[in-house]
Amino acid sequence: MQKQVSIGLLGFGVVGSGVVKMIENHREELSQKLGCDVTVKHILVRDKEKQRDLPLHSPKLTTDPAEVLNDPDIDIIVEVMGGIEEARKHIRHALQNKKHVVTANKDLIALHGQELLEVASENHCDLFYEASVGGGIPVLRGLTDGLISDRIQEVMGIVNGTTNYILTKMDEDHVSFDKALGDAQNLGFAEADPTADIEGLDAARKMAILSRLAFSMNVELDDVETSGITDIALKDLEYGNQLGYVMKLIGFAKKENGSIEISVQPTFFDKKHPLAGVKNEYNAVYIKGEAVGETMFYGPGAGSMPTATAVVSDIMAVVKNMLLGITGKSNLIAGLDKEITPDERRFAKFYVRLHVKDKAGVFASISQLFHDKEISFERIIQRPASKNQLAEVILVTHQTSLANFQTTLEQLQEMESLESIQSYYRVEGVEKND
Ligand code: NAP
Ligand code: HSE
């Protein structure tokens, strides 16, 4: 039986240094749980001269990928360097050299996961990526192990810590978007370029990965309709509060009658909904299965040690498979045909904020338009707008199809009494079928 497993690490930043620290600090437990030792042999970095906190039994730092990828002693490559093309090239190289791979790289897995899983299986290697979604929360294993027996109907989650942190700070402490984003960057949650966080792309990548596993379909990034939080006004958060809602950037994936809808969008949640209480950088994924009903996975979605937990657990899963001689057998490649639900069959409630001319009969004409489209209102607020002669109207609709709602907005734009549609957001309630 193998007595030692050697790791080659690609990257020694926030996540990589956490992985090294965890393997050092948990050495005895790992050895006892696995029946063999795990050591990090080489670490690939960009800059060898950088000041770093190195562990006692320091692995060798290198800037030459071949030194790590071609070392015959290395069994598992852990890719925590980020980026797409270079990481993809190194992972393919590692798999072709019969080395197992663990990665935290959601950008890469969202774009090229299927291809890399195929290369892994062809080479009888494992490719695991638990840390790519939800940091330290074992949500991918929740889908692929714990809930594998069920038919998953819905996956809805707060899967980006940075945006959840920003929205919490704007809502509760009334700080500006820029200040909250700066704080998230200083705390290490945000990506080096936070555009992917705030524009919703990071969450879209995670939703593509989650949906692939939940529905066994080859979901691609383009299948995820995506909008971010950059345009959210403090005013909408305030009105949301009055209505008993809280705003979250939500990934939403649903399978109904064989077709799927996937989106990432700012969504108002009833404060009684379990996802409404998820604050700051925390993530949570709510999964609904036909047999199990409602489940929720909650925890830290980013950061050095939480993410390292997922990476080291993946390493341990590989080592167990190595010891059992079954590597390459548990790479789940999504195989079902994919069908995307058309807007006519996607249903939701919506919040809309309008500026209208402040004169008699205006509200009646707006109501008539919604009535003609068979959209009824659940809540209405009317206030004088800050600009002269205008009123601000906030409507919350009952359920309607996305197609019907969009046509209604287009017709609203043409009304003479409408000044502007200021904003509109999906609303998620707590009651069943609301
Ligand atoms: P990071 O702090 O920027 O660290 C990146 C590391 O990779 C650095 O050590 C860097 O070397 C090295 N590196 C980057 N490009 C390289 C290249 N071309 N050649 C050699 N070395 C290179 O990044 P991170 O936050 O640890 O994130 C790593 C991965 O984990 C990313 O895919 C990220 O999306 C994912 N992830 C991060 C978190 C989180 O909370 N941070 C959570 C989940 C997933 P130098 O040190 O020499 O610059
Ligand atoms: N920038 C990401 C987030 C890091 O804020 O969730 C974890 O993937």
Instruction: Read off the pLDDT of residues 86-101 as tens digits, 9 standing for 90 and up.
Output: 999 999 999 999 999 9
Q: Cα of 365 to ligand 1 centre, how many Å?
A: 55
- Residue 299 CB: number of other CB atoms within 10 A? 18
Residues near ligand 1 (Cβ within 6 A): 11-16, 44-47, 50, 80-83, 86, 104-106, 131, 135, 192, 302-303, 307
pLDDT band at 302; cut points 50, 70, 90: confident
170 and 195 co-located in one domain: yes
218 and 310 co-located in one domain: no
Instruction: State pTM to two decimals.
Output: 0.95
372 and 393 co-located in one domain: yes
198 and 109 co-located in one domain: no
Residue 250, in any domain of the structure: yes
Q: In this structure, are strands 100-103 and 76-79 parallel, antiparallel, or unpaired?
A: parallel
Residue 433, in any domain of the structure: no
Residue 60, in any domain of the structure: yes
Share of the chain above pLDDT 70, in %: 97
Instruction: Read off the pLDDT of residues 192-206 as tens digits, 9 standing for 90 and up.
Output: 789 999 999 999 999
Instruction: Read off the pLDDT of residues 100-149 as tens digits, 9 standing for 90 and up.
Output: 999 999 999 999 999 999 999 999 999 999 999 998 999 999 999 999 99
Cα–Cα distance, 35 to 29 (Å, whole number): 10
Residue 92, in any domain of the structure: yes
Residue 312, in any domain of the structure: yes
151 and 264 co-located in one domain: yes
Is residue 300 in contact with ligand 2, taking CB distance under 6 Å? no
131 and 37 co-located in one domain: yes
Residue 330, in any domain of the structure: no
Catalytic residues: 206
Is residue 189 in contact with ligand 2, taking CB distance under 6 Å? yes
> What is the extent of the structural domain holding 211?
139-300
83 and 176 co-located in one domain: no
Residue 362, in any domain of the structure: yes
Looking at the structure of the chain, the number of domains it has is 3
Choice from 9, 12, 15, 53 to test ligand 1 binding pocket (greatest atom count within 8 A of CB): 15
157 and 118 co-located in one domain: no
Residue 401, in any domain of the structure: yes
293 and 199 co-located in one domain: yes
153 and 275 co-located in one domain: yes
Q: Cα of 300 to ligand 1 centre, how many Å?
A: 18
First to last CA, the chain: 57
164 and 293 co-located in one domain: yes
CATH number of the domain that residue 129 is part of: 3.40.50.720
Q: Cα of 17 to ligand 2 centre, how many Å?
A: 17
